[in-house]
Structure 1
């Protein structure tokens, strides 16, 4: 009994304590619940069927709804991805296709068939573009006229207007100026015909025409020779392999006459076939004892200007002139080196600048480098002595130079004269 009562009291005390704790949180009266436990009966919450309360069922329902929403979102995203892939497969890809080649290096497609690319040659020259625009304009104009003609019927066609279609005003020709010397040539040709006949006059005209063309050709060749090679137009030029005849055409040769003009006047019959006794039949009346001396004609050129007289320069002027000449020679030498016509000189190595010029080579083997530098110094000194020896005057040249300094140059004024004594022969 004692044990049963004790157990009952213990269970009742635990139940009261739990009820007190619940009331503490629900009512907020902590002092009252902490001081004493009210002996009120604990009302049990109604349970749902199956032993679960409503809060647990509500949580399970919310979790199930969230799972359904998540599954619907995943399904919609999967459908959208499939549609995007299908659309991407239908349109052409922006990436370039892989280049496939066969054993011979020709392009093939994915089925192994040869790809034939038709090359369309196009030109971007301004001349072709202008021609294309002109052709397009002409074609458009012809199409417009054909369209207008198709729209206009027989009621609007007046046959009387066709008679005036061909009566268009003739275009005025440009002014034709008479070339210089045209009438002079016609007069000369008329005189030749009257003097020598038509046949010979034509031959002389052809000869003069050949000479004129030859002169023009030679003048053109001279201009080409003096022309800047960078301005010569691209085209066929006479090469050295074709010979000198291709570069400079020879003058046209005249026809060999039956009788030369200087023999025609002295031959009686005007032919070389008139020979009697081994001698030509010559008209001796054409010869006389007089000798014709042509009148000398002065050249049409002006007399050349006199040469400038040499001036005696001072020491400072001579030094300045030598400096200018030396600078000009050095500039010309540098220009030839820059163009690759001559090799650049070797660096002037001395003992003082040995390490600065040779650098790594002098560090690797200084003894050999010093020996080579001393040899170069000896060569330069010997070359300097040779130049001085070549400029040294001979004793005769030295005497002549001294006399020239004392007496001055002949161009400065006066000349040398010699006088010889002799007997008086003319009384």
Structure 2
């Protein structure tokens, strides 16, 4: 058993030895082929044993910890491992920039030592500067703002000095210039008390307050002589109106309420007034009203008093009824308009505002020979405060009226409905007769009035009639009416 090899192991060992020899032969052949070619480095091919050794060398060193958890080597000695400290990319870039600057300064120094170097020529940087944020220092804009405020304050101060000089009558430049050194001293030393304040330099005759006091106390000079521009008069400020914003746009139109809504609103208002009156009576601010006694509710209201003295109670009730009737009539009389007020109210309703436009109507009447109808045309125009004219020419009698929309509505009803033009007959050609009629030729709106009070104008010829309208700048009224008349005659 001790020195003999088992029979099963002998073939395995022989196979291993054979494979090693085979690998060695192949390695020698490859080295021989590579050595015959130029440019190839002849490097020894690692055997499996050498490859395994190299792989074992590249493996990480095993970490050995002692009982206390500290790192030790194979001999048991404590060692200190080098720890990798992480850093930011920005810090790495900053270190590279510092190194680059140091290197660039060295290059520039080397260049300046050359004989052909010109200092007047600026050397361009090797690398373009980084466009970084440039923050302003703290307090920069505060200083600028303070400087602007000081300048504005000085300008305002100079204006006040000029106004004070005008009020006190000091127009000399030397008097006004006294403020400059005082302001300069105040600026240099704010804590120092000046001999005289700058606002007192205009009224004090002296270099300081002490000189004025000495002159009054010791010299006995009156104070009025040492002050300029000081009197016993009091200046009252001018009363100014409070600043109010102008109205923006036109005023909103009032809401139109229906009859049902108006009744409801009146009922609510009366209800609120009744509640307020009841509250005052409950608090004792007003006496309670007397009971409204009538002959019909006499027994129900008074009761036993009526039985005791019916004659006296009846007289008292009738007196109350007369009193209420009188109060009612007096209230109606106080609300009743006087004759002048009624006239003014009627005029306000008739007169209309024509600043935004004047409504014009042109009527053509075949005949205006009837004096009654002629009077109605003229008098109604005056009562409605209409302006215009009436031109009489054969069968083209033109009536032009100017006014507001309501005035025109009333006058249109007069001319086309109320006056019965067909009652009159007109003698035509030969023995032919026709009925009189009135037509509305044109109505519209113009900018301003062209005529004054309504007047009649008799024109024997067509040229005179047109000339009358041309003087007022409205000859197209006549042209329209006359041309329509000619067309009607041609059709007939």
TM-score by length of 1: 0.29
Query: Which structure is higher in RCO with an 8 Å CA cutoff and minimum separation 6?
Result: 2
Higher strand share: 2
TM-score by length of 2: 0.26
